[in-house]
Structure formats: structure tokens, C-alpha cells
């Protein structure tokens, strides 16, 4: 590997709020380089002899497989920890689990229902913790999305990204990465489902320094007008299934369909972190259509995670 690794060693990725724009750009640059050189560069020595635990409290397809493959491609070993079959499922504390894991492995990838879980693990470990989704943030997803956007448009400045739907972890994460990379992010959510006020305010402050901007609206048409990127997520997030029917009803007019795509720029792309529910948050015509980049976006999870693990864990 010839790409120069900056001083990111030992860092955790709990939220991208804690990473500078330069550090995020470096992760993305290395990811792009690894992807472009995948056939000619052998990365198996980078993390040879290391172990990374995957501790998951919620289901996953993309995150679990892409982290496992990234870990393997870097020459490390993955240790799978299904939450319910560990002693956590029987009441052992997070603090003790964190202390013990620090003695065995070199890093922990954790998917948790509550953001506080990842924060506690980070506080009580001596090793890096990687947030693989919480109710507040999905940092590796939006790193993959940022890589996809740069592949399509050659960068992020002047990019107008419109996210439609629930003001959830994905909405928060778009606000954060948009602010870090100087994008113009609009979140269109129904009344009562807007993103958390403190995240919006944080993103506005950060955007003022990077040339981006933040808009929150209840009007999906206003949000997508002239946009370069339309993004959405499931109407009902994992762990939030209780009010399924009510939420479907409220969210209906935020569905990304061909009419909304028609209001965006003609070269606009569609992103979805997946899994998708065709006919709910997006029509089949859009997600399976020519403007959809969801498969590149899913692939890019592998490259941004591989880049991050290499930067953080390599000796």
C-alpha cells in the first residue's frame, strides 16, 4: 500500500461530528484509492495478526458482511458476537464487557439500539470503537454515500442533497457529513418527524465554516427542486415498528417517485441505504431506474470501512 496514512491511528468512529473535514476527506481518498487499485494492491499485511469484534444488537446484511470482508481483506480476523448469545443478553454490564474485550481484540464494531451504548463502550474500552448504526447515527453509511456522490460528481462543493422521510439516524448523518464536506443539505420530513434540533443547529454552525448549508422543511417538492442527490430511508426504522400503519400514512407524500425525481436536476442520482420497501418510501421505477446508484452505494460501504480500519488499526 502506497497511500500515505495520516495520524488517525487509535481513533474511534462514534459520530463523524468528532472528525475534521480533512480527516473525513482522507478516509474517502484512501477508500477511493483502495477501490481503484483493488486488483493490483495486496492489503492483507496491513492488519495481519489483529482481531476485530463485531457486536450486533440488531439485524444487518450489508454492514455485517462488508465489515467482515473488509477485515478479511486487511488480513485480520473477525470475531462475531451476536448480542443475545453473549453475557450481555443475561445482564452483564456494558462497562465490564468493554473492559474484557479490550484485553482480547484490537477494535469493536458495534450496532446498537441506543447511541448511548456505543458511547459507554467507547468510554470503557482502550481500543477503537466503530459505530455500525445506532438510533442517532450511521456514520459508515454516509461515508459510503459521500464516496458515491464524489464518484458521480467529482466532489461535494455545490452539491444539493435532499433527504426525504423520517428525521432519523440517516437524516442526522446526512446533516453531519454534509456540513463536514460543504454540501447543501435539505431534510424534508413530516411535522413532528423533523431531525433533532441540536443536530440541525450543530450542522448549521459547522456548515458556516465549510461553505455548506442546512434547510429543514415539511415540503418534499421544495426540498427536491434542483437537487443533485435525492436520498431516503425506510419510513419505519429498526426498533420503531410499533406505530407502523400511522407512520406509513403520515410519510406517504414523502415517497420518492418519478414525479419528485422530475423536479430534481436531470442528472440527479437516487440513494437509499437499504433495505428498501418498494411502494413505500420509494417506487420500484426510481430505485430500479437509471438514476439509482444504490448498488454502487452499497458496495462503497466495503471501501470506506476498509479505509477506516486501515487508518485506525494499522501499526
Q: How far is the CB of 272 from ligand CP (least distance, A)?
A: 9
| Residues forming the active site | 111, 138, 141, 233, 273, 301
Adjacency order of strands within the sheet including 129-131? 77-82, 51-56, 107-111, 129-131
Instruction: Examine residue 1 and tell whether it contacts ligand CP (CB under 6 A).
Output: no
Q: What mask of x and - would describe binding to ligand CP in positions 203 to 242, judged by CB under 6 A?
A: ----------------------------------------
Take residue 169 and report the three cell numbers written for it: 439516524
Closest CA relative to residue 131, chosen from 121, 105, 123, 206: 121
CB neighbour class for 136 (10 Å; exposed up to 12, middle 13-18, buried from 19): buried
Nearest residue to the partner ligand CP, using Cβ: 63
CB 249 within 8 A of CB 213: no
Residue 263 or 274 having the CB closest to ligand CP: 274
Question: Which residue, 184 or 293, has its beta carbon nearer to ligand CP?
Answer: 293
Q: Is 219 helix (H, G, I), strand (E, B) or coil?
A: coil
**Residue 71: CB minimum distance to ligand CP, A:** 15
Min. distance of Cβ 210 from ligand CP in angstroms? 25
Residue 130: CB minimum distance to ligand CP, A: 13
When the beta carbons of 159 and 234 are compared against ligand CP, the nearer one is 234
Q: How many residues in the shown chain lie near ligand CP by CB under 6 A? A: 8
Identify the CA nearest to 35 among candidates 314, 308, 300: 300
Q: Give the residue with the Cβ less far from ligand CP, 61 or 222.
A: 61
| Residue (137 or 260) nearer to ligand CP, CB | 137
Q: In Å, what is the CA distance from 199 to each residue of 135, 191, 243, 306?
A: 13, 17, 24, 27
Cell numbers found for residue 71: 477485515
Determine if 78 is a binding residue for ligand CP (CB under 6 A).
Answer: no
The nearest distance, CB 1 to ligand CP, in angstroms, is: 27
One residue of 1, 69, 263, 274 binding ligand CP per CB under 6 A: 274
Length of the chain: 315
Rule CB under 6 A: choose which of 27, 133, 143, 251 binds ligand CP. 133
Q: From CA 135, how far away is CA 38, in angstroms rounded? A: 33
> Which of positions 56-75 make contact with ligand CP (CB under 6 A)?
60-63
Measured between alpha carbons, how far apart are the two ends of the chain, in Å? 13
Q: How far is the CB of 59 from ligand CP (least distance, A)?
A: 7
Residue among 273, 312, 313, 314 that touches ligand CP (CB under 6 A): 273
- For every residue of 26-66, DSSP letters joined together read HHHHHHHHHHHTTTT---TTTTTT-EEEEEESS--SHHHHH
- Interface region with ligand CP, contact rule CB under 6 A, candidates 55-63, 99-107, 174-182, 183-191: 55-63
Residue 106 or 145 with smaller CB distance to ligand CP:
145
- The partner residues of 107 in beta bridges, in order of sequence, read 52
Please give the residue ranges that form the binding site for ligand CP (CB under 6 A).
60-63, 133, 141, 273-274
Amino acid at each position: 500500500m502506497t497511500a500515505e496514512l495520516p495520524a488517525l491511528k487509535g481513533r474511534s468512529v462514534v459520530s463523524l461530528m468528532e472528525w475534521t473535514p480533512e480527516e473525513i476527506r482522507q478516509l474517502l481518498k484512501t477508500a477511493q484509492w483502495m477501490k481503484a487499485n483493488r486488483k493490483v494492491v495486496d492489503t492483507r499485511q496491513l492488519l495481519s495478526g489483529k482481531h476485530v469484534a463485531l457486536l450486533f444488537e440488531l439485524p444487518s446484511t450489508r454492514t455485517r458482511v462488508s465489515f467482515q470482508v473488509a477485515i478479511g481483506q486487511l488480513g485480520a480476523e473477525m470475531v462475531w458476537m451476536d448480542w443475545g448469545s453473549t453475557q450481555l443478553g443475561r445482564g452483564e454490564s456494558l462497562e465490564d464487557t468493554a473492559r474484557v474485550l479490550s484485553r482480547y481484540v484490537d477494535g469493536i464494531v458495534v450496532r446498537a439500539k441506543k447511541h448511548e451504548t456505543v458511547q459507554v463502550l467507547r468510554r470503557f474500552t482502550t481500543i477503537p470503537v466503530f459505530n455500525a448504526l445506532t438510533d442517532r447515527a450511521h456514520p459508515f453509511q454516509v461515508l459510503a454515500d459521500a464516496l458515491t456522490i464524489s464518484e458521480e460528481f467529482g466532489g461535494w462543493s455545490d452539491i444539493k442533497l435532499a433527504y426525504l422521510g423520517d428525521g432519523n439516524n440517516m437524516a442526522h448523518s446526512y446533516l453531519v457529513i454534509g456540513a463536514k464536506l460543504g454540501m447543501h443539505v435539505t431534510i424534508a420530513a413530516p411535522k413532528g418527524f423533523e431531525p433533532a434540533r441540536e443536530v440541525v443547529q450543530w450542522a448549521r454552525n459547522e456548515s458556516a465554516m465549510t461553505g455548506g448549508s442546512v434547510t429543514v422543511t415539511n415540503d418534499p417538492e421544495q426540498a427536491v427542486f434542483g437537487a443533485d442527490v435525492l436520498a431516503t430511508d425506510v419510513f419505519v426504522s429498526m426498533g420503531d415498528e410499533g406505530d407502523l400503519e400511522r407512520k406509513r400514512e403520515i410519510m406517504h407524500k414523502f415517497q420518492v417517485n418519478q414525479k419528485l425525481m422530475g423536479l430534481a436536476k436531470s442528472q440527479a442520482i437516487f440513494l437509499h441505504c437499504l433495505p428498501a420497501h418498494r411502494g413505500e418510501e420509494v417506487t420500484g421505477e426510481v430505485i430500479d431506474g437509471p438514476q439509482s446508484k444504490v448498488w454502487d452505494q452499497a458496495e462503497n460501504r466495503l471501501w470506506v470501512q476498509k479505509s477506516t480500519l486501515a487508518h485506525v488499526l494499522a501499526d
